[in-house]
Each structure stands twice: as C-alpha cells, then as structure tokens.
Chains A and B, each alone.
Chain A
Amino acid sequence: MPDATQTRDSASSTGPLLDIRNLRIEATVYPPDEPPHDITIVEDVSLQLEKGKVLGLIGESGAGKSTIGLSAMAYGRGGVRITGGEVLVNGRDIRQLNPRGLRHLRGREVCYVAQSAAAAFNPAHRLMDQVVEATLKHGLASRAEAEERARELFGKLGLPDPDNIGQRYPHQVSGGQLQRVMTAMALCSEPDLIVFDEPTTALDVTTQIDVLAAIKDAIRDTGVGALYITHDLAVVAQVSDEIMVLRHGKLVEQGETRQIIEQPQEEYTRQLVSVRKIDHEEKSSGGKAILAAKSITAAYGSSTSDVLKEVSLEVRPGETLAVVGESGSGKSTLARVITGLLPPRRGSIEFDGRKLSKGLEGRSRDDLRELQMIYQMADVAMNPRHTVATIIGRPLEFYFGIRGRERDERVAELLDKIEMGEGFADRYPAELSGGQKQRVCIARALAADPKVIICDEVTSALDPLVAHGILDLLLQLQEEKQVSYLFITHDLATVKAIADSIAVMYQGRLVRYGPKSEVLSPPFDDYTQLLLSSVPEMEVGWLEKAISSRRMESAGN
C-alpha cells in the first residue's frame, strides 16, 4: 500500500484533488431604498485541479475569484452562500459535511493565504504559535515537530533568521515577511491544497517579486496543489500551470498559461493582456517651473529621523512629474509637505513664482485653490451623505462664490468632462462604482480650476481596465486645461503611461530624477534597475530571469 501515507482520507486517490461542478453562489444584498434581495455572485463555474498543479483564477474585482477560492473550504464570507453544484475535495462533496467535518477539512486538507497578512495574523500571539496552530489542532504532529517544520519552511521561504523569527509578534515583522510567514503557516500542516488569495497584491513590486519566487519554490518543493487568485495576469502567468479567466461570476476562458497569454481566444482576455499599453509622448517645454520644491527635509512629530532628506524637484506647466518608490520611501510625505499639511524642517516650496508659506494656516485661499489633491481611496475622500452635485459644487461655492442655477450648470459641465451624465448629480457615493468615485474626485479637483493637481496613487485601488480609463481621462484633461500633475505611484506601468518626467525615491532621498526618456534608459543606478526589473511582465518564465539578473535586495527585507 504505497499510497496510504499520501491520501489522508479513505476516499479516492485517482480523481482530481479539487473538482468543482456547476458551482452557484448567491448572497443577499441590502441596498438603500430597496427591499433586500438575492444576487448571484458565481454562476455555473466548473474546474478541476490535479495534485501538485497550480490553477490561476483571474478577473476584475467582483468577478467572484475569492468567492470561488473560499468555496474550496466551504466558506462563505459575510453571508455568501453556496446554493448549487458540488465541491469535491479528495473525492468527497464538502457541501455535505457537518460543522465537525468542515473543521476537519479546514487547516488540514485545505489551507488559505489571505491578501493582507498584516490583518490576518492575530496581534496578540507570537508568529510561531499561529503558524503551528492548525497542525497541533488537527493532531498532525507534536509541537516540537511542528515547530521544526515551521523553521524549515521559514528558511525555504527566504525569511531572515528562520530559527528565531517565530518568536516575534506580527507588528515586529514587515509586510512582505508576514506574507511569507503566512505561506509557511498554510504549508505547515502539509495540506493537499492551498488557496492563495491575492498574496502579493498589497506588496511593493520589489517585495512582490521575492514573495512570488518564494511561493513558487515552496509549491514546487512540497508538491501541494494551489488555487492562485489575482487580478494581475502578469503575476499569475509566473506561477500557474493553467489560467481561468472570470468575469461577473462566469467563466470567460480557461486554458494553459502560455495559451492564455500568447493566444487569448476571447475579446475580454485580449483586453486584459493588452491593458498596460498607453502610448504617451514625452512633452518637454523646458518652460519655467510652476511648482518647485527646494531641498525639502521633513520629519513627523518630534522624531529625530527625517522621512524626507534634501528633496528638490520641479513641475512644469501642463506636464506630469511622476514620483515613484516603494512604500516608506517618502512619496506621500512629499505630497503632505507641498500641500502644507506637514511643514518641512528645512527647505521651501515655490509656486507660480511666489514662495508658499510652510504651514497650511499661512496660505491664502488662492494658494489652496490652485493646488488640488486627489487621493487613492476615493470612497473615504468623499462625504457619504453628500450627493455628487454637492461634492463637486462645494469648491465652486467656496472658491468662486458660484451658487444656484449657475452652480448646477457648472456641475453638469464638469460631469460631462469626466464622462458621466447629468443623471449622476443626485446620486450618493455609495451608489457609484470605484472608477466613477475616482472620476467624481477628479471633477471636484477640477472645479477649483487648479494649476497643479497632486494625484496620490489614484489608480492603485482600481482594476486595470478601470485604471486605464482614469489615466486616459487625466491625460485628456491635461491637454484641454494645461493643468500639471504631480503623480505619486508605485506602479511603473502607470508611470510609463502618464509621465513627462520622473523622480525615483528611495528611503526619503531622490535617487534619480529627469525626463522620462532619460530616467528609463540605461545606465541605471542599482535601485532604479531593481525597481524596473521587478515589474512583472506578461511572459512565461519572466520571474526566473528577473531574479537571476538582480543586483540588490529590496528594502523590504
């Protein structure tokens, strides 16, 4: 009986590891002003996964990827219910299991790696206790054995000091490391299947590449089967054997990874594959700068460590300066200094030929008006109890004193500019999609008739196709209004699409700065090289090439 040690449950060693047939998932929604009703989240999806294989699930938000992934553990998040079809794990239908049987399945046969490891770890317990918890709970090993295995996995996943990192608490470890610890946690009980739910989405590109490589090696070495969920086709192409494209809870296309990337059959898949391409000609007027930051040094509170060190840069009229860097590099702090929210320790801000006061209270209303800001999280940047018309109309009233009919007309014009009809004027933010919310924020910034708009990661929370639309809109508005953008982002594809000049930041310093064509052509400094080579490309085998050609480690390690 050579197989007896491998299959833990009596049923089947012949069938696929995971066999989902005609899955249907529903949820009850409670929209405002409407009676609650059921909606279908996933409809008629079937998939099979063999032992040791990786299936990528890809699609925009709302495509039902995570919901399908969690159905492999018979888990519905927030009132989501599996209402039809079968989910077979190791040959038995887990929908028929009682709560006891389900507990037996979870953490033992199927494990889960969440998108945000920082939130998924309990802040009150040491990492090691959490990593071995499922193994001990299911009686798969003694504590000493489980901890030994965990340390081995920590080493395999490239964590620093694998022997002692388990003694730390979650807040003592960086995001990229936590994501790896979570992968070790999933592997520790030696499950047959792991559901990876966007495990690298919340990470910087430079960290993502390391985590991705670690996950890929771990899957290969342990022979575990995996569902890999992500919205980033380039990422999933690196780890999957097969890819399944989903949209609105339905299957669009399924096939071998190479086929999906190189010969997509469906129109929607083709759009996903080609989404990263906006051709943006670099402008270089060489005119006088509209906004200039001069040797800015800044720190938070009375802290002695400076978050920004001697940063100087310029934005010219009608052009876009992109500021790139990983989290913690000081990008957003720079925006706070320029807007006056954080007075710098040293240095000055010049705007349109005049020197701006360091603090917010010293700036005139025109200073405020001409320098607007758009944020990453559009939904928290708007008052949920104001209508779109009130939100966009507010700067018109505040800066220009425009009221009544005239205001409504201006709001209608602005809505037209952001390609949203007048019908949206009376809607509330909760009734808009993510992309529409961001458009309203853009309209609100435009309403002030600004000279410079600071865009802080404005497309980072959006699906690729929607982000594409927003970038298009921003470029078009720039053409029309000659407004300048200071565009903060960690995404180099976005930078390539929109920037005229680029500033690369690393640990609070400017490491590279100049016109786009110069910054993006060799010779590179080490950090820029790392940053550029870390952006996943839609190409099978890219990951291995990129890892082998690197010259420095990312700051996340």
Chain B
Amino acid sequence: MGGHPVIRLIAQRIALGILLLFAASLLIFLGTEILPGDVASSILGQAATPQALENLRNELGLNEPAYIRYFQWLGGVLTGDLGTALSNRMDIATSLWPRLKNTLFLATCAAIVAVPLAIILGLVAARYKNGLVDRTISGLALSATSLPEFFIGYVLMYFFAVYLGWLPSVSTVHEGMAFGDRLRAIALPATALTLVVLAHMMRMTRAAILNVMQSAYIETAELKGLSGSEIIRRHALPNAIAPIVNVVVLNLAYLVVGVVVIEVIFVYPGMGQYLVDHVARRDVPVVQAVGLIFAAVYIGLNLIADVISILANPRLRHRR
C-alpha cells in the first residue's frame, strides 16, 4: 500500500497519461507511414528517376525498417529535436516554438474571458431556471455556437475592423511587440473563439448545477433559510466541480488544437496555420511533430481535469 490514497491515485493517472502519450506517438507515426507514397517521392515529384529516389531515400534514412525509424524519431523528440522540415530544410523545433507560443497566447486570452464568463452565466441560468434570464442566456449562447467559426470570424471582422475601424482585421504579431499591441491584435480572434466555446461550457455548468440541485442536502440548505444564490454557490457548486472541470478542459483543448480555421481567417501566425501550410506540402515530419504536440496538449489538459476531480472529492481526500 503506502502513501495517501489520493497521491497513489494521482500517480496512477500521471503514469497512465504518459503511457497514452506513447501510444499516441505510435499512432501518429503509423498513420503517416500508411499514407501512400513516401517523402522522397513527394520531394522529388512524379518525374523523378528511380536512381534519384533511391539516393534520397538513403540520405533520409527511409530504407531503415519502420521500427528503427520510429525509435530514432522518438529519441529525437525526447531530446528536443523534432527533426527537419522537408519543404524548407529548417529545424522544426526552432520554427515551431514561436508559433506554439502564439497559439498558447491566443488560447489563454480566450480562456481567461470564456471560462469565468461561461461558469458565471451557467450559474445565473441555473439560479433562474426556465425563467426569462435563463432562456435569454441559453438562446444567445446556443446561437453563437450554432454559427460556423468562419462566419463569426468574418462578421466580427466586418463589424469591428471594416465598419467601425476599431480593431485590425489581420492579427499580425511579431517578436518584441508590446503586450498591449499584442492584445489589440488578437482581440477579434479571441472574441470569435470565446463565442465558439462559451455555450458548451455554460450549458454543462447549468446542467451539472441543476443535477446537484435535486439532492436532499439542497433542501436542507433551503430549510436553513439560505437564499437561492447562496445555495448554488455554497452547496451546489462544490459538488458540481468534477463535471464542470471536465467540460472546461475539453474546451481548453479545443482552444489550442481547434483554432486552425480562426488562425487562417485572421492570418495569425500560430500552430494551426503552420500545420495547414505543411499538410498541403506533404511535409510529414512537421505533421508528425504538430500532431504529437496537439496530442500532448489534449492528454495533459485531461490529466489536469482528472487530478482536479480527484482533489475535489472529499471522500478521496479524507479517508474514513
């Protein structure tokens, strides 16, 4: 046995996360392996002579068996070497790093607005369940989600950039830009992302709270003379943390890995654009590297959700 059960549980989750990450890396490698044609033919084009192909394959090490290439790739990844892009012969890690920072910056800004807003709106909607406030909140949030991202993006761009002229329509950011300017540049894409993820988190918060509101201890709180919002804040919310955290994390992951369309619309130099550019050029090492980072983000965020859910459960924190 040994150790507090919570520590054991969390250690277990982390171990499982790492295992999952290895499985994901294997899948990504196999996926790109199965694709017809190989890197050499895509570099040299259809008209290449067999001799030229063979030479390039030898040079790139493509004639090694798949498992050896997998472990070479994995070893590189573990030491921070993501390989070299085929299209421009640049080191992937160095060109990817600033873009990852940009994407995380955009996602973080959107999350800082979206998560508290969604939870507060969800709590308010639960408090005034089925009333006018609830229906207005739900209606607006749902219609924002139902609209495709690119549509929201273009509407925002037209209204705030073209019509009012308040904000730039293209979110160009570069090294050494002042923080305020940076925020101004990403205001529109961040708003679009917020609108996309808001409804899901808000609806789930509302549902989780209303589910807890069925419990007998809510009646106890009511019979103590607590007001509706006190009951929700003190008695319902602490018991709804696990489901809320799970949906929040799912949306955070979406903010990081699902921003492709928004980044392309606003010409934002993030991971999404980088990925799209290199998929078009069949640049397999880049696709692998980006895929692995996306997988790591997903697994890492879900790991955090698991850990928070475990910590939020008093039955696990305090043994009998």
Contacts and interface: CB of A to CB of B under 8 A. Distances in A.
A125 to B, nearest CB: 7
Contacts of B235: 122, 124-125
A112 B220 contact: yes
B223 A75 contact: yes
B225 A137 contact: yes
Contacts of B225: 102-108, 134, 137-138
Contacts of B216: 114, 116, 119-120
Contacts of A123: 217, 239, 314-315
Contacts of A107: 223-226
Interface of B: 215-217, 219-227, 230, 234-235, 238-239, 312, 314-315, 318-320
A169 interface: yes
A171 interface: yes
B223 A106 contact: yes
B48 to A, nearest CB: 62
A119 B217 contact: yes
For A73, A102, A106, A138, which residue has the most chain B Cβ atoms within 10 angstroms?
A106
B222 A122 contact: no
Contacts, number: 76
B223 A103 contact: no
Contacts of B314: 123-124, 169, 171
A134 B224 contact: yes
Among A77, A102, A121, A134, find the residue whose CB has the most chain B CB atoms closer than 10 A: A134
Contact of A114 (B220, B226, B230, B312): B220
A108 B320 CA distance: 32
Contacts of A103: 225-227
A116 B216 CA distance: 9
A133 interface: yes
A111 interface: yes
Nearest to A122: B217
A61 B63 CA distance: 80
A198 B319 CA distance: 29
A172 interface: yes
Given A103-B225, A107-B226, 20 more contacts: A77-B219, A103-B226, A106-B225, A108-B225, A111-B223, A112-B223, A114-B220, A119-B215, A119-B216, A122-B221, A122-B239, A123-B314, A130-B220, A133-B221, A134-B224, A134-B225, A138-B225, A169-B314, A171-B314, A171-B318
B288 to A, nearest CB: 42
Nearest to A75: B223
Which of A105, A111, A130 has the most chain B CB within a 10 Å cutoff? A130
26 contacts: A75-B222, A75-B223, A102-B225, A103-B227, A105-B225, A106-B224, A107-B224, A108-B225, A111-B223, A112-B220, A114-B219, A114-B220, A120-B216, A120-B217, A120-B219, A121-B217, A121-B220, A122-B235, A124-B235, A124-B314, A125-B238, A130-B220, A137-B226, A137-B230, A138-B225, A169-B318
A108 B312 CA distance: 31
Which of A77, A104, A112, A116 has the most chain B CB atoms closer than 10 A to its own CB?
A112
B contact face: mostly helix, strand, loop, or mixed: helix
Contacts of B223: 73, 75, 106-107, 111-112
A362 to B, nearest CB: 33
Contacts of A75: 222-223
A187 to B, nearest CB: 13
A34 B294 CA distance: 54
Given A119-B215, A122-B239, A171 B227 contact: no
A178 to B, nearest CB: 12
A175 to B, nearest CB: 13
Contacts of B219: 77, 114, 120
Interface of A: 73, 75, 77, 102-108, 111-112, 114, 116, 119-125, 130, 133-134, 137-138, 168-169, 171-172
B313 to A, nearest CB: 9
A107 B225 CA distance: 5
Contacts of B238: 122, 124-125
Contacts of A111: 223-224
A120 B220 contact: yes
A171 B226 contact: no
Contacts of B224: 106-107, 111, 133-134, 137
A119 B214 CA distance: 11
Contacts of B226: 103, 107, 133, 137
A171 B215 contact: no
Nearest to B216: A119
Contacts of B215: 119
A184 to B, nearest CB: 14
Nearest to B227: A103
B217 to A, nearest CB: 4
A105 B216 CA distance: 20
A193 to B, nearest CB: 12
A110 to B, nearest CB: 8
Contacts of A121: 217, 220
Interface centre among A114, A124, A172 (most CB of B within 10 A): A124
Nearest to B230: A137
The 7 closest A-B pairs by CB, nearest first: A107-B224, A107-B225, A124-B238, A119-B216, A106-B225, A134-B224, A103-B225
B291 to A, nearest CB: 39
A73 B221 CA distance: 13
A77 B314 CA distance: 28
A105 B223 CA distance: 9
A106 B222 contact: yes
A119 B224 CA distance: 16
B229 to A, nearest CB: 12
B315 A171 contact: yes
A102 B226 CA distance: 10
B222 A171 contact: no
A111 B238 CA distance: 24
B217 A171 contact: no
Contacts of B234: 125
B320 A172 contact: yes
Nearest to B312: A124
Nearest to B238: A124
Contacts of A122: 217, 220-221, 235, 238-239
A473 to B, nearest CB: 33
Nearest to A125: B238
Contacts of B221: 122, 133
A305 to B, nearest CB: 13
A124 B227 contact: no
Nearest to A104: B225
Contacts of B315: 123, 169, 171
A106 B227 CA distance: 11
A171 B227 CA distance: 26
B222 to A, nearest CB: 7
Nearest to B318: A169
Nearest to A182: B220
Contacts of A130: 220
A104 B217 CA distance: 19
Nearest to A73: B223
A138 B230 CA distance: 13
A121 B219 CA distance: 10
A172 B315 CA distance: 8
Nearest to A195: B223
Contacts of B227: 103
Contacts of A125: 234-235, 238
A280 B304 CA distance: 63
A133 B226 CA distance: 9
Contacts of B230: 137
Contacts of A172: 318-320
A119 B216 CA distance: 6
Contacts of B222: 75, 106
A115 B226 CA distance: 21
Contacts of A102: 225
B211 to A, nearest CB: 14
Contacts of A77: 219
